[in-house]
Structure 1
Amino acid sequence: MAAGVAAVDWGAAWLAPWRATGEPVAQRIVRGDTVHSALQAALGAGRGAMRFVPQSELPDGTAYEQFIFDTRHVPTRDNLHDFFNGLVWLQFPLTKRRLNQLQARAIAADGVHAVRGALRDALTVFDENGAVLDAPAPLWQALNARDWRRLFVELRPLWCEARLVLFGHALLEKLVYPRKPITAHVYQAQAAMDSAASLDAWLAQQLQPEHLVAKPFVPLPVLGIPGWWPGNENFSFYDDSLVFRSAPRKNNHTMGSAAL
């Protein structure tokens, strides 16, 4: 586990919003702390009854999401996946609590099955692989159209006005070992992203079941973002049709007045 955390490159562009929270936790783990104890040390006091606990505290036969909802204890394994999940709880507690509330509500209504319903599926997609993008309208138009050449080449200067914050803990985990196909499910920001707290408060309010079941997310291969990966400075990077795929024929979903 210590070796895995030591492999995290805190200088990577996508980890800029996470470094202040994550690097001290990672340093504790490298020195020998378990993941749950390092996260708990970062949490400290003042967050109600929320705690990070060993995975062994999750009773057999109890759904993970339901246990968190009932106890406000987050079972945590010693691996990168749960390390990043814990960082998201630290950085976006309101949003994570909202996701957990909706998961528990869906479990109470439908039970736990091998195939999730539409709401639980959407919650899982965002929780594991979501990101939030604040960008000028032309970038969103090109992204919705999957017009990758326009998005990343013709409109490249506009990316200096955009900000993408990764949210999904599985997405963050995958980027420890970056690969070109890694793709986020992106949600459009409609509020200030000047701080994690303001983004957290806004996003927690946005997560309504009626929006989520429509899956208001757009796929974005994140290593295509200018400044995020040296390889994309050569524009042939975007010619890979297995990664930068054409838009489906069906209409894109929308959320409120802004298309996603």
Structure 2
Amino acid sequence: MTSGIDWTRPWFAPWREVGHPVAAALAAGRAPHEALNAASPAVRFVPQDALPARTAYEQFIFDSGTCPVRPGLHDFFNGLVWLRLPRTKRRLNELQAQAIAAGGIGGRRGPVRDAITVFDENGALLDAPAPLWEALLARDWQRLFVTLRPLWAHAHVLVVGHALLEKLAAPRKDMTAHVWAGPAPVGDPVRLDAWLAGECTAARLATKPFTPLPVLGIPGWSAQNENFSFYDDSLVFRPRKP
């Protein structure tokens, strides 16, 4: 399962310190919840069958204070995010539980739960010089990735969406992250967790404060983007709508 992860890849490298020991424990035969629990006592993981039938996953986490995990990369990466950003994950779960209490778990999730799902599955954080932010928010891809290319040496990207991390085990050009629309203190995990947990309010999330970033366009994330025709693909690098 985790043996194929290349921790030198730029999207996995920030997760190596927390992820490699868990992967090693899994390779040695530990169950997923046991391997994750051994990495940190701050979050308790349980087997998937601990989740009662007809009980919402998010509600169970809120009520029990435990996180069910299944074998596979999806829950592996979700567990790593819990280990590194526990305050943020608990805050998002709290907001999920509040939304469920208010509106139930019917067909429509509502704007807050929708936004949480988008970010939790596909989110990323960016610490970058102001000109890169301006180009990103304008979706001016040529300026962002070509004209301002040298500035990426001073930028830091952290993929926090566990579904996107899972997909990046087999990267494709069209993979696009939803980046939190504001500079994040990516370099300090404790500070980052506190900052992001504070940013996550129902009012803010309801606005879907994200901006798209095709991650393989980031310099150094794909050898193919060294040829600037890589960015001519309008199906991936889409202009901002009027």
TM-score when normalising by structure 2: 0.97
Whole-angstrom distance in 2 between the partners of 1:141 and 1:191: 15
Does the 8 A contact of 1:10 with 1:16 survive in 2?
yes
Q: Partner residue of 2:177?
A: 184
Q: Is the 8 A contact 1:223 1:232 kept in 2?
A: yes
- Partner of residue 5, structure 1: 2
1:70 aligns with 2:70: no
Alignment partners' CA distance in 2, 1:190 and 1:155 = 17
* CA positional deviation for 1:190: 4.0
Counterpart Cα distance in 2 of 1:168 and 1:154: 28
Report the secondary structure of 1:219's partner residue.
Answer: strand
Counterpart pick for 1:42 among 33, 39, 43 = 39
The reply on whether 1:108 has 2:101 as its aligned counterpart is yes
Say what the alpha-carbon RMSD is for the aligned residues: 1.1
Letter in 2 for 1:162: A
Match of 2:196 in 1: 203
Which residue does the alignment assign to 1:253? none
Deviations 1:102-156 (A, max 9, x none): 0000000000012210110001111111111111111111111111111000000
Alignment of structure 1 residues 1-260 onto 2, 5 Å: 4-43=1-40, 45=41, 47=42, 50-190=43-183, 192-249=185-242
Q: CA deviation at 1:220?
A: 0.3
- Report the AA paired with residue 235 of structure 2: L
Shift of 1:160: 1.0
CA distance in 1, matches of 2:187, 2:57: 32
Q: Note the residue ranges of structure 2 that are not aligned, 5 or more in a row.
A: none
The SS at the match of 1:131 is strand
What is the letter of the counterpart of residue 207 of structure 1? C
Shift of residue 228 of structure 1? 1.1
Deviation per CA, 1:23-79, whole angstroms, max 9, x where unpaired?
110111112222111111112x3x2xx411000000001100000001111010011
Q: Percent identity?
A: 61
> CA-to-partner distance for each residue in 1:220-258, whole Å, 9 max, x for gaps?
000110011111111111111111111112xxxxxxxxx
Which whole-Å CA distance do the structure 1 matches of 2:5 and 2:184 have between them? 30
Report if aligned partners of 1:134, 1:188 keep a CA contact under 8 Å in 2.
no
Question: 2:210 and 2:184 mapped to 1: Cα distance?
Answer: 17
- Kindly tell me the number of residue pairs found equivalent between the two proteins: 242
Gap runs ≥5 in structure 1: 250-260
Q: Which amino acid aligns with 2:143?
A: R
- Secondary structure of the residue aligned to 2:2 is helix
